[in-house]
A and B are shown apart, each in its own frame.
Chain A
Amino acid sequence: MNSAAKPLCLALQAQPQPCLKKAQGGLGGQPWSHHHTANWDRLRLTIESIHHQSPVDLTNAPGMPTPRSQ
């Protein structure tokens, strides 16, 4: 994993030790859990909005509260 793609929990350690689940591998790893899919959806939506310079529409993004839940 190159340094630019290294998660902070690895990059910040003085003496690197495993801090990630093996099952959390990205493409080619284990199937993503719901949470990781939610993370990916959020990240992808944000990246797309930056490409198009439009506000992030997260109306249907996983994990977002509905007004009823407030």
Chain B
Amino acid sequence: MTTDEFDLHKASTLSPYIGQDFLTWLWFKTETGGGLFRLSSEDQVGVHMEQRISVQGGEGETKDTATSSGPQSELTEARLGLRTGKKVTQARLRIEEDENAWQLQLKAEDFSISSLKTPKVDMRLEEGEDPDARFLEKMFLIDKALQVVDELFARFVRLRFSADWQTELTAIRNWVNS
């Protein structure tokens, strides 16, 4: 990809919607691609949309929100909303790596992350153990989740600004209508 393809004017025009588009794309990738992503570190993670996706349409008094809170197979209702112009406003993600799992809520409007759950860290210290060790482990696990979100977003941005976006858009359209 050349630098020219990153049109900052286009980027600024898209920015109000980039969070919504990112979550829509991620939802599409997790359902059609098995949710497996290889990170730049060569680690492979599984990413799944879990239980709760909100889509919203209209504004003000006509605002209409549909939230699916069932298992993945029951997210159909939220997906149907995409056909009528609803936007993904937030989603709960589950990230898995080996036996570790993280959960977090990601809001499209401002990229705020909430309800972040890391793999459990046993805070009881063993004899002679560095008192900072468990705290640092917890910080590492939080950082790991944020890294995954960052890498996924960077991957989306590369695609969004490349000529391949049209192909991806066709695939997303087919998925929405399937």
Contact = CB atoms under 8 A, between A and B. Distances in A.
Contact of A40 (B3, B12, B59, B147): B12
Interface string A7-21: 111111110111111
A9 B139 CA distance: 36
B55 to A, nearest CB: 9
Interface in B119-161: 139, 142, 146-147, 150, 153-154, 157-158, 161
Quick one: which of B16, B17, B110 has the most chain A CB within 10 A? B16
B14 A26 contact: yes
A29 B156 CA distance: 25
Interface residue range, chain A: 35 or more
A5 B10 contact: yes
B83 A14 contact: yes
A8 B142 contact: no
B154 A46 contact: yes
Contacts of B116: 65, 70
Contact of A46 (B147, B157, B177): B157
B10 A19 contact: no
A30 B116 CA distance: 34
Interface residues of B, number: 51
Given A14-B83, A24-B16, A38 B110 contact: yes
A34 B16 CA distance: 10
A7 B110 contact: no
B173 A12 contact: yes
Given A19-B86, A44-B11, A47-B8, A26 B173 contact: no
Interface of A: 1, 3-5, 7-14, 16-21, 24, 26-27, 32, 34-36, 38-40, 42-44, 46-47, 49-51, 55-56, 58, 61-65, 67, 70
28 contacts: A1-B13, A4-B10, A8-B172, A10-B85, A12-B24, A12-B85, A13-B85, A14-B177, A16-B85, A19-B86, A24-B16, A24-B17, A26-B14, A26-B16, A27-B13, A35-B109, A36-B15, A39-B18, A46-B154, A47-B8, A49-B154, A62-B110, A63-B110, A64-B112, A65-B114, A67-B139, A70-B116, A70-B142
